[in-house]
Amino acid sequence: MLENILTWSCIYSYTLASILLLSGFIFNKDKLLKLAGYFVIPAFAAHTVIFVMRWAATGYFPANSEFENAITGGWFAIGFTVYLFIRNRALTGVALFTVPASLLFLGYGVMKAPDPLPLAASLKSSWLVIHVLFAQLAFGAYAIASGMGLLYLLKDRKMIGERMSSFYKKIPRLEVIEENMFRFVVYGFIADAIMIVAGAIWAKDLWGNYWGWDPVEVWSLISWLLYGLSIHLKVTLGWKGRRLAWLMIFLLITVIITYWGIDIVVENTRHIFGVTSLPDLMQ
């Protein structure tokens, strides 16, 4: 009951914060952005309690259902957002991307399968924590990079063809936004690499091979390679500005497909939720 109350409190708080953030950017109202922060920070505290409660109740790192995936992924995305709130109020705009995204994932998880699901005994390993922890760190960092990309495009648009309002003058310079965007991409890329390697080591112990060309494995590799390509384009070929910002926004789609999309459209994957035994997992 408490988890249910806290979950819907988070959903409503993220909903109100999303409305305030959207209205703030559309009508150039800095006060609305500040007000959104008063909803996001308490909601993140409740989100943290949900995360800890689910872990304590099930005995494993929350990653065994769409709901738990949303809890964990959203927690890291909002956690990075709150960090930016505290570090630099001028970067509040990234929440315009991360808060609605976390809201949608959490809402989808609640509608899909909110109840705790049994975990196969074979999966109860410390590697689960390591593998999923770095996966969600990567997702959180990539989500922030996408938020930075959106913030970049919004400010860049106001600098072209019209006088910039005082609202957008408070947002950091485009160079600062781009630098932070790139840093989070590199952070996510490294965390993503550790996630893939940790998963391969765990798979060797669990299934007898390091790589099985499972759909989730393939998509995670594709996503990682594309983010690596974005780093190459930035460092080697000098990509910057709007095309780099757009790239960061669209690349997050590959991560969403990996974490949520595969389990919707593919049945023959080892990365499925709520299994109770290894034979079930191998089907």
pLDDT tens readout for residues 19-57: 999 998 888 888 898 899 889 999 999 999 999 999 888
- At residue 8, the pLDDT reads 93
Q: How far is CA 182 from the centre of its chain?
A: 16
pLDDT value at 235 more than 90: yes
Q: Which residue has the higher pLDDT, 50 or 119?
A: 50
Closest CA to 102 of 214, 11, 5: 11
Cα–Cα distance between 24 and 206 in angstroms, integer?
A: 50
Question: What is the mean pLDDT of the segment spanning 200-217?
Answer: 84
pLDDT tens readout for residues 77-106: 999 999 998 888 888 889 999 999 999 989
List CB contacts of 32: < 8 A, sequence separation 6 or more.
20, 21, 23, 24
Cα–Cα distance between 260 and 17 in angstroms, integer?
A: 24
pLDDT value at 260 more than 80: no
Q: In this structure, what is the dihedral angle of CA atoms 269, 271, 276, 278, given to the nearest 10 degrees?
A: 70
Binning pLDDT at 50, 70 and 90, where does residue 129 land?
confident
List CB contacts of 224: < 8 A, sequence separation 6 or more.
189, 192, 193, 196
DSSP one-letter string for 78-114: HHHHHHHHHH-GGGGGGHHHHHHHHHHHHHHHHHH--
DSSP one-letter string for 44-55: HHHHHHHHHHHH
